[in-house]
């Protein structure tokens, strides 16, 4: 294999996640052998944090680590999967085709785009399973970054809620709830022993899709910004809207949601809701549904720690706080919601590790 930058790629339903390992312990010999193309690619990736209109490098996530006895820095880049043709022509213009090499890839797009990579970039995709890569990536990053895993204290109190580091070193068994376009739920018993226990098609993509329909917004970031200023109680029917107060026999307080979007059957209420209220209700509905399925899976599997990952949680404190609260409250304090700083990048990391 000709010299190729160390990449791992996760080509998902919505976003491509590209992880790039930059060795920092090069010997003079390594430097002499480095091809021009590799230098050009490194310079291009490192000299900016935005690529075109939609590509982004998450500079705050970059981290030092060792891979295959090499010290270096991991860089994290993402762009929409819909921009794949732009990415391919950019990679061509940087001379990737001359390397005639192999890149490790995971996610559905590793299959969908395989032919294009081969024909247009002269690149062979070495394909890896996305859930195996996800678990591999979680184990690796968590080992290097003591601050990786955290939970939320007082999640429902605006002033008092805090991110607290969680020691994940003795973590088995745990559940992984990966919220991407859709949702996969895995039970993990050891480094190599895990199974997919459930999933739901109502995921991050559903949130964005419904928000676009209901509010006319165009992007995930806009949908989250709208949701931040909205009030879902104007959209959802609560227990108190039906009972006039609590339903104490089964411990349901008046502010529990009884029917998501339940107010929207009334024209009068529909006329009063704002786009922000609708975005918030959509976010709350999707998040609570995922929380509820995750909780059932945890109970079924007899697992107490639930790790939420995936890019749905990017810049999305509302959902993290809701999940943290819901896990704790509905389990009577036995379940703990955990989160990871590198959110949606674990599949790409796990896949990069397969290269070596
Ligand atoms: P996938 O592998 O299915 O693409 P991800 O883990 O990358 O899954 O998560 C995709 C989800 O992340 C989207 O459905 C959306 O809810 C959310 N998301 C976060 N940031 C963005 C973004 N910049 N563009 C689109 N979706 C985003």
Beta strand ranges found along 167-300 (DSSP E):
174-179, 183-188, 194-200, 237-238, 257-259
Q: Among residues of the chain, what percentage have pLDDT more than 70? A: 99
CA–CA gap between residue 248 and residue 205 (Å, rounded): 36
CA–CA gap between residue 351 and residue 356 (Å, rounded): 10
Q: What is the pLDDT of residues 212-262, one digit of tens each?
A: 999 999 999 999 999 999 999 999 999 999 999 999 999 999 999 999 999
CA–CA gap between residue 347 and residue 132 (Å, rounded): 8
Is any ligand 1 atom within 6 A of the Cβ of residue 312? Answer: yes
Choosing from 130, 142, 148, 343, which is the catalytic residue? 130
Those residues whose C-beta lies under 8 Å from the C-beta of residue 281, and which sit 6 or more positions away, are 230, 232, 234, 235, 236, 260, 261
Kindly state the average pLDDT of the residues 10-18. 98
Kindly state the average pLDDT of the residues 67-77. 94
C-alpha to C-alpha distances, 37 to 52, 76, 315, nearest whole angstrom? 20, 20, 34
What are the residue ranges spanned by the domains of the chain? 6-133+345-355, 149-235+273-340
Domain 149-235+273-340 has CATH 3.30.420.40: yes
CA–CA gap between residue 193 and residue 187 (Å, rounded): 9
Is any ligand 1 atom within 6 A of the Cβ of residue 314? Answer: yes
CA–CA gap between residue 3 and residue 32 (Å, rounded): 12
Beta strand ranges found along 142-236 (DSSP E):
149-153, 162-165, 174-179, 183-188, 194-200
Per CATH, the number for 6-133+345-355 is 3.30.420.510
Active site residue 130: yes
Residue 78 has a pLDDT of 98
Q: Which two tokens stand for residue 284?
A: 């709350």
User: Which pTM was predicted?
Assistant: 0.96
Is any ligand 1 atom within 6 A of the Cβ of residue 208? Answer: yes
Please provide the average confidence, as pLDDT, over all residues in the chain.
95
Residue 1 has a pLDDT of 43
* Top-confidence residue, 16 or 1: 16
The interface predicted TM-score (ipTM) is 0.99
CA–CA gap between residue 325 and residue 330 (Å, rounded): 8
Ligand 1: atom nearest CA of 10 is 2
Closest by alpha carbon to 144, among 70, 69, 67? Answer: 67
Cβ pair 139, 132 in contact under 8 A: no
- DSSP assignment string, 290-306: HHHHHHHHHHHHT--EE
Cα(208) to centroid(ligand 1), Å = 9
Is any ligand 1 atom within 6 A of the Cβ of residue 207? Answer: yes
Q: What share of the chain is helix, strand, coil (3-state, %, to 5)?
A: 45, 25, 30
CA–CA gap between residue 79 and residue 115 (Å, rounded): 20
Cα(351) to centroid(ligand 1), Å = 18
Cα(14) to centroid(ligand 1), Å = 5
Ligand 1: atom nearest CA of 205 is 14
Sign of CA dihedral 139, 144, 146, 149: negative
């Amino acid at each position: 294999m000709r010299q190729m930058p160390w990449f791992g790629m996760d080509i998902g339903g919505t976003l491509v996640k590209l992880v790039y390992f930059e060795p920092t312990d090069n010997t003079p010999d390594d430097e002499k052998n480095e091809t021009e193309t590799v230098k050009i690619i490194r310079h291009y990736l490192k000299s900016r944090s935005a690529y075109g209109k939609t590509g982004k490098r998450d500079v705050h996530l970059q981290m030092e680590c060792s891979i295959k006895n090499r010290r270096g820095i991991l860089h994290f880049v993402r762009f929409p999967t819909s921009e794949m043709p732009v990415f391919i022509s950019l990679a061509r213009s940087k001379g990737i085709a001359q390397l005639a090499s192999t890149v490790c890839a995971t996610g559905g797009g590793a299959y969908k785009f395989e032919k294009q990579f081969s024909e247009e970039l002269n690149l062979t995709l070495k394909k890896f399973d996305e859930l195996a890569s996800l678990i591999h990536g979680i184990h690796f990053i968590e080992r290097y970054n003591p601050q990786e895993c955290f939970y939320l204290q007082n999640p429902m109190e605006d002033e008092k809620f805090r991110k607290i580091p969680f020691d994940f070193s003795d973590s088995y068994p745990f559940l992984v709830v990966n919220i991407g376009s859709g949702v996969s739920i895995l039970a993990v018993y050891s480094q190599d022993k895990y199974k997919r226990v459930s999933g739901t098609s109502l995921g991050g993509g559903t949130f964005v899709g419904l928000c676009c329909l209901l509010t006319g917004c165009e992007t995930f970031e806009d949908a989250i910004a709208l949701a931040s200023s909205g009030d879902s109680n104007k959209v959802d029917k609560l227990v108190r809207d039906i009972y006039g107060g609590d339903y104490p026999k089964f411990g349901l307080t008046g502010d529990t949601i009884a029917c998501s979007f339940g107010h929207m059957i009334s024209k009068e209420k529909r006329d009063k809701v704002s786009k922000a209220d609708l975005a918030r209700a959509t976010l709350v509905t999707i998040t609570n549904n995922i929380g509820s399925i995750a909780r059932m899976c945890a109970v079924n599997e007899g697992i107490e720690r639930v790790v939420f990952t995936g890019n749905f949680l990017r810049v999305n404190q509302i959902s993290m706080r809701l999940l943290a609260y819901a896990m704790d409250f509905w389990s009577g304090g036995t379940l703990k919601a955990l989160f990871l700083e590198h959110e949606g990048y674990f599949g790409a990391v796990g896949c990069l590790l397969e290269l070596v």
